[in-house]
Structure 1
Amino acid sequence: MVQFYSSKQRKVKSDNLTVIAESLDVKGQGVAHYQGKIIFITDLLPGEQAQIQFTEEKRQFAKAKVSKRLTDSLDRVAPFCRHFGICGGCQQQHVTPALQRAAKISRLEYLFQRETGSAVKSLPVITGSEYGYRRRARFGLQYQHAERRLRMGFRQSQSNVLVELKMCPVLQPELEKLLLPVADCLNKLAAVKHLGHVELVNADNGVSVILRHLKPLTTNDKILLTAFARRYNLNVYLVDNSANRLKLVSLASNDSEPYYSIENVKLTFDPQNFIQVNPEINKKMVAQALDWLALEPQDRVLDLFCGMGNFTLPIARHVNAVVGVEGVAELVAQGRFNASLNQLTNVEFYQADLEFDIDCQPWAKMGFNKILLDPARAGAMGVMPHIIKFKPERVVYISCNPTTLVKDSQQLLTAGYQLMSVRMLDMFPHTSHLESMALFCRDLSK
């Protein structure tokens, strides 16, 4: 029988506690309540009943695992990957995609309701392939002295232990089929004990392998890697302990850099720099942003946190002028190169730290009637007052963190903007990541 006792913290005796999950959180945990306490339960879906055991308990909530599941939900499916439940890469392969999305939408709408006081109804989710969607992945490498071999894989959840991957169905097929050959090749290197990580990137013009090594490679190691690249038609890059990069071999195409195309624009990129890993959703996201901006030939658009021009250059094809601002110098240089490559002369790129006062920046004195921003997880709190000063007609906010999106949105709403549309992007199926985008319009009568 469940009992409470009073001390500095009220605790629940969890032996043989039976609960029914009421909902699913964005991390794929079942949510139940017992005597006023919220319980988050790993591997329990809404409507399922189970006996649980606490793994952590706080004053307001507890975490638990299932000791025995008593009923099964129709939303429970067999995981597609043999490593699911051990590997920390995916959290929700046991859940139907429909329920995954519904849980994330519910979280997004709840946060807007809590912060703004107004009900928000999001538009249909932007969806794509549920498996085979990742065109980029970084794998940890750990040499096992007892086994005298190298492990390659993702880490377990909340652990430094590597799960050695034999398959990874969320990777694009071109990358998944390389998992075992890459691991086998790395195990043959003399430097096998001194490797940091390996990254696989699938571009429109072929696959690149980026290997981080902590000690110099021998000539024979480079010969082995070159032969491997020739066999699988790969680009191979070596990155040493000082982050210096050497292009060992380029075989996948005659192009000097990887690239992808979007909205009739060709975007080359440094294989170590950030790109959106889900190309299908990225194309739909950019198309939605262009539609929401309602671009006209006379528009002047500001793209903040622009990277190498994922949005900037497609926008440039429709407007009078566009300015992209980014904090990373290498991405700014890549954006300028891509503008030249695509013969777009109405684009300017600037480097600036958008967390500091930007009034002295040359681009801050220009006029813009529309703004797009795509910040990192920390959000754009520092730049929101400056966006408001520009008084743009429309603001499109791309977000990888709903909490900072909602907080930043509050500043726009207070300044008289209206939240016109919100959409969730299923950028990372089977994971806890929640990507979204929002459109704000200014009341032109004010």
Structure 2
Amino acid sequence: MTSPQAPKNFKPEPFAYHEELELRVDTLTNLGSGLGRVNGWVVMVPFALPGERVRVRVYRNHKQHSDADLLEIIEPSPERVDPLCPLFGTCGGCQYQHMSYAAQREWKRQQVSELLVRLAGITHPVNPTHGSPREYHYRSKLTPHYPKPFKPKPGEAATPKREMPIGFLHQGQRNRIVDVPACPIATEAINEALPTERKRIRERSAKLKKGGTLLLRHTLDGVTTDNNASVTEKIGPVVFQFLAGDFFQNNPFILPELVDFVMERACIDGVRYLVDAYCGVGVFALCGARRFERVAGVEVNASAVKWANANAAINGIKNAEFYIGEAESIFSAINFPGDETAMIIDPPRAGCDEAFIRQLLALGPRRVVYVSCDPSTQARDLKMLLTGGYTLEEVQPFDLFPQTRHIENVAVLRLG
């Protein structure tokens, strides 16, 4: 039997292409892959769990580690479970369906702790991860992709017709889409609506000139497929309207618990005012308005500010105002005294830039509650805040995305 031909850009050291190895998995990476060592050399293996002994096949060598496919689980972890989705391991959407939910929460807690130490030099207790009330069927927004339909060039022989895949990227690949007829982390209503949308886009495939993305957004209005449709969601007694294609947290089952936690940490120590930075359509500001004398939301997206002000009016909230904040003077419209102010920051995955942090430090809010969808960029920003005079009080992960590697983390700080 001949050895498989290695790709042209394959680096042959330290392992040959498709060389098979046995190793013990030590830990998980932040991308959800198992990490083990062979003679001290790091090997990363998707879908392998800590403590397992596995047989793997190398397909890529990097400068400091190798990537390998999982071939056999020789000694399974007691935390290994059967995945619910038949496409798990092929579809790149989920990383942890093969791990018990208790173990998922503990690994996410541990990863937050490790990131704080490694990226910011911060050693601080991390609370147990707050679990989602739903482990599956929690996701209220789904965005399946479809590729550019294949059309033979003039004179080129036609290939047998295949159905256009509609789904998500293949595990470990950047351009190949896996056909996903149903998704167990999406709500039941989305899965009921998905076949109709898949049929609709396939019937139009002959007219399509490029690939694209579908939208299925489940709210109080049902399942919406129009990005520009106005939809309604509710957190506790507060009603929110927004465009279906715009950002709104995608796990409505845990969202009230996250909001309550943030508000309880923000409104102590004699704080009278609240600044909601990166406020979006006003979720934190409006849910917390009754706890403060005045509330100000700041957002660079003009459309989001429009919706936030409309949501304040819909709910009859008169002590909240929302402003478009320019990057160089984000808080120029706010005149709250810093020692009586709390600030909530919930930035995009890239975190806060240095200009924002400098302006926050200049304002000097007494309390800061930092909500992050990427604990690595959060750790970077926390280091600057601690250097600027803040003290870290509490670190609380929330699992908004069960079965995946993604972590929402809340850091609570006070000035002094």
TM-score, with normalisation over the residues of structure 1? 0.82
1:224-303 pair list within 5 angstroms: 257-294=230-267, 299-303=272-276
2: CA distance between counterparts of 1:190 and 1:95? 38
Amino acid at match of 1:161: R
Task: Give, in angstroms, the shift of residue 82 of structure 1.
Answer: 1.2
Q: Does residue 410 of the first structure (1) align with residue 410 of the second (2)? A: no
Task: Give, in angstroms, the shift of residue 192 of structure 1.
Answer: 5.3
1:76-225 pair list within 5 angstroms: 76-128=80-132, 129-142=134-147, 143=149, 146-147=160-161, 149-157=163-171, 158-189=173-204, 193-194=208-209, 196-210=212-226
Amino acid at match of 1:11: P
Distance 1:144 1:133, change over 3 A: farther
Task: Give, in angstroms, the shift of residue 409 of structure 1.
Answer: 0.6
Contact 2:400/2:408 (CA < 8 Å) preserved in 1?
Answer: yes
The percentage of aligned residue pairs carrying the same residue is 29
Q: Which structure's residues are more often strand, by fraction? A: 1
Q: What residue in structure 2 maps to residue 312 of structure 1? A: 285
Distance 1:191 1:268, change over 3 A: farther
Q: Does residue 373 of the first structure (1) align with residue 345 of the second (2)? A: yes
Structure 2: 5+ residue stretches without partners = 1-10, 152-159
Contact 1:339/1:345 (CA < 8 Å) preserved in 2?
Answer: yes
Distance 1:296 1:15, change over 3 A: closer
Q: What residue in structure 1 maps to residue 298 of structure 2? A: 325
Per-residue CA distance 1:307-363 (angstroms, 9 max, x = gap): 000111112122111111111111110001111111111111111243x3446x322
Amino acid at match of 1:202: H
Q: What residue in structure 1 maps to residue 6 of structure 2? A: none
SS class of match (2:129): strand
Distance 1:106 1:148, change over 3 A: closer
Amino acid at match of 1:204: L
1: CA distance between counterparts of 2:269 and 2:304? 27
Q: What residue in structure 1 maps to residue 156 of structure 2? A: none
Contact 2:106/2:128 (CA < 8 Å) preserved in 1?
Answer: no
Between the two proteins, the alignment pairs up a number of residues equal to 390
Task: Give, in angstroms, the shift of residue 95 of structure 1.
Answer: 1.4
Contact 2:267/2:342 (CA < 8 Å) preserved in 1?
Answer: no
Amino acid at match of 2:66: A
Task: Give, in angstroms, the shift of residue 205 of structure 1.
Answer: 2.4
Out of 116-125 and 290-299, give the one that drifted further: 290-299
Structure 1: 5+ residue stretches without partners = 1-7, 211-236, 238-244, 248-256
Contact 2:105/2:128 (CA < 8 Å) preserved in 1?
Answer: no
TM-score, with normalisation over the residues of structure 2? 0.87
Contact 2:271/2:366 (CA < 8 Å) preserved in 1?
Answer: no
| RMSD of aligned residue pairs (Cα, Å) | 2.3
Distance 1:151 1:65, change over 3 A: closer
Q: What residue in structure 1 maps to residue 361 of structure 2? A: 388
Q: What residue in structure 1 maps to residue 61 of structure 2? A: 57
Q: Does residue 43 of the first structure (1) align with residue 52 of the second (2)? A: no
Contact 1:27/1:92 (CA < 8 Å) preserved in 2?
Answer: no
1: CA distance between counterparts of 2:13 and 2:393? 44
